[in-house]
Chain A
Amino acid sequence: MNFPKPLQLSRRGVQFLVLALIVLTPILARYGNYLSARQLDQVLDRFEGSVQGAALEYTDQTIRFLAAPDVQRGDNQRRNDKEALLASRNLKGTTWSFEFFGVSLTDPLAALESAFASRSVRWVLILGILIPVALSILLGRFFCSWICPVGFGLELSGKLRSVLRFLEIKPGRARLWYGNKYVLLVLGLFLSLLFGVPFLGYLYPPALMGRELHNGVTVMFDRAEDGLLGFSAVGLTLAAWFLLLIAVVEILFGARLWCRSLCPGGAVYSLLGRFRVLRVVRSSDRCTKCGACAVACEMDLNPMIDKTGMECDNCGLCISSCNDDALHLRFASNDSPVAMAGRREGE
C-alpha cells in the first residue's frame, strides 16, 4: 500500500466536491428562501446551536465573503442582502440535472426518458444535455468514475471488503453479464414509452440520491421551523433503503456489481463513449504482464488484453496500480497497445 497517485487524488477530490455540492444546493435554496423573506436573522437566532443553524451560518458567511461584501455608507456598514440572494441562486439541482451559473447540465438518461415518455423532444432538453453528451463522447464514462456520487459511495463502501477479509469472511467476486444494463435501459425506455412515466428515474441511483438528499435537507429544515432541531431520518424514503441494499450486496458479493452490470445510466454513458478519444493505453514493451491492473480494475476488465472497449470508465485505478509505468491515459481512437520504450516519465 503506497501513497495514492495524483490522478487518484484528484479524482477523489472531484468526487468529494460533487457530493458536497449536491448536499449544499438544498441548503442554499433554503438560505435563499429565508433571505428573500427577510427572516434570516430571526431564523439564525432560533436555530442557534443546531445542525441547521450551523449550516445556514456557514453558508451565509461564505456567500458574504465570496460574493456580497458589506457596503460601506459613511460610518455605518450595511449588509448586501440582494447580492447574497443572487449569488445563492447560482447553484441549483443534483447530478440528475444541475444548473451551474445559468448553464444547464442534464443527465442524458433524463432527457432520453422525458423524450420517450412524452413522445416529443423539446429544445430545453437538448440544450441541457449538450455539454454532458459532448464530454461523454470525448471522455467516455467519466461521469461514473469522476462525478457520480453513488459511485463514490460504493467505492468507499467497497473498502469494507478488506474488513471482511480481516474477519476471515471471503467477500464474493460475483459477475453478471455486462449486457444486463443495456437490457435494463431498453426495458426502462420501453416502459416509459408505454406508461408515460420516467421509470428509470426511480431506479437510477444518482437521481435517487439527489432526491433523497434534497428531501432529507428540506425535511430537516421544515422540522427545525417547528422547533425540532437536529438530524432527522424522517425525510429518507425507500430510495435510501435501495441504495443501502446495493451497497451491502456489493460489499458481500462483488465490488461495483451495480455499476458494471445493472446501471441504466452507465449503459447510456458506455454507448456514448463507444468511440471516445481518451483511453487507457498499454505500452507493450514495458508491460511485464504481472496482472496488478486486472486485480485493481473495479469494472472487472483486464487492461493486459487491450480490449477494454466501452466498459472502461477511465478511472485510472489500473494506471495507479501499475508498477512498470506501462499504462497511461492517452488520446487514442482504439485500445491497441503502443511502444513507449524510448520515452521516459514526464516527457
Chain B
Amino acid sequence: MVEANEPLPRRKFLTRIGRTGVRVAAAGGLLYGVQSMFSRPPALRPVEEARMGILRPPGALAEESFLQACIRCELCAQACDTACIKLFGPWEGKLAGSPYIAAADRACNLCLQCTEVCPSGALGELFAKTEVRMGTAVVDERLCVSHNGTGACGACHTICPLRNKAITQGLFNKPTVHPEHCVGCGLCEEACIVHERKAIQVSSGRSWS
C-alpha cells in the first residue's frame, strides 16, 4: 500500500503485521499509563444507590444488552427535557459514557424524547408512558414520615404521574406502591421530603458491574 507498484512479499507483510501489533500494544500500554497517571477514584456512591441499581432512561434494554448496544453518543442526554439524563464519567470502565438518571437529584418526566432519538436501539421505541418500566419505587417505612408516625406528608402521591394507580394513599397519607403499575420514573424519589437518604427510592434491579 506504500509502494503500490511492487507486490508485497509474504515475509515483509507478516513482519509488518507483527510490527504493527507491537506498536498497537505499545500505544495501549502508553494509554493505560497515561490513564493511571490522571485517574482519580470514582465519586463515592451512596450505599442505597448501589443497592437500588442503576436507573437507566425509559425503554432501555436489559443491562447486558443495553451496554452492548449503546454507542455512547450523547443524544439521549441532549434530547432530555429535564436534563435528568446524565452520563457516566470516563473512569467507570464498561459504564463510561452510558446514560443514567439520578432520580433523587432530578427525575424523569416521561417525555420519551430519548427513546425517539436513540440511534442505536439501546433505548427501544415506546408508544405509551404506561409501558415504561425503568424500575419500581420502594418505600422505606422506617424513614417515611407518614409511615413512622412523625407526620402526614403525601408528596410522592401528589407528584406521581400515575396517581391512585401506582401509588395509593392510606391513613395519614401513608403511601403504598403497586409494582404492576409503577413505571419507575423517580418523580416520587425527587419529591420525597426526607433527605440524605430518600424514604421512597426507585429500584431498577440493574447491578453496578
Contacts and interface: CB of A to CB of B under 8 A. Distances in A.
Interface of A: 25-26, 28-30, 32-33, 36-37, 89, 92-94, 96-97, 99, 104, 106, 110-111, 113-114, 117-120, 122-125, 128, 175-180, 183-184, 187, 196-198, 201-202, 207, 210-211, 214-215, 218, 237-239, 241-242, 245, 305, 307, 309, 311
A297 to B, nearest CB: 14
Given A110-B120, A122-B120, A92 B34 contact: no
19 contacts: A33-B82, A36-B81, A92-B78, A93-B74, A97-B73, A97-B75, A97-B120, A106-B71, A114-B122, A118-B69, A124-B120, A175-B2, A196-B68, A197-B94, A198-B72, A202-B72, A211-B97, A238-B35, A238-B90
A25 B71 contact: no
Contacts of A198: 70-72
B118 interface: yes
Nearest to A104: B119
Contacts of B68: 114, 117-119, 196-197
B38 A177 contact: no
Contacts of B60: none
B24 A187 contact: yes
Nearest to B1: A178
B23 interface: yes
A241 B38 contact: yes
B176 interface: no
Contact of B90 (A113, A184, A237): A237
Contacts of B81: 32-33, 36
Contacts of A122: 69, 120-121
A175 to B, nearest CB: 8
Report the 6 A-B pairs with minimum CB-CB distance, sorted nearest first. A122-B121, A97-B73, A118-B68, A29-B78, A110-B71, A117-B68
Q: What's the dominant secondary structure at chain A's contact region?
A: helix
B4 A309 contact: yes
B71 A93 contact: no
A89 B76 CA distance: 12
B20 A93 contact: no
B65 interface: yes
B158 interface: no
Contact of B96 (A119, A177, A202): A202
Contacts of B64: 196
Contacts of B72: 96, 198, 201-202, 207, 211
Contacts, number: 151
B24 A183 contact: yes
B73 A177 contact: no
Given A114-B121, A218-B77, 13 more contacts: A29-B79, A97-B71, A97-B120, A110-B120, A114-B122, A125-B119, A178-B2, A179-B20, A207-B72, A210-B73, A214-B78, A214-B87, A241-B38
Given A122-B69, A197-B94, A242 B34 contact: yes
B17 A183 contact: yes
Nearest to A129: B119
Interface size classification for chain B:
35 or more
A273 B39 CA distance: 39
Interface of B: 1-2, 4-5, 16-17, 19-21, 23-24, 31, 34-35, 38-39, 64-65, 67-75, 77-83, 87, 89-90, 94, 96-97, 113, 117-122
B77 A214 contact: yes
B5 A307 contact: yes
Contacts of B77: 29, 214, 218
B119 A128 contact: yes
A110 B2 CA distance: 28
Contacts of B120: 97, 106, 110-111, 114, 122, 124-125, 128
A309 B2 CA distance: 11
Which residue among A94, A175, A184, A237 has the maximum number of chain B CB atoms within 10 Å of its CB?
A237
A201 B74 CA distance: 12
Contacts of A104: 119
A56 to B, nearest CB: 14
A303 to B, nearest CB: 13
B58 to A, nearest CB: 16
A180 B20 contact: yes
B73 A197 contact: no
A92 B119 CA distance: 11
A94 B90 contact: no
B159 to A, nearest CB: 15
B80 A29 contact: yes
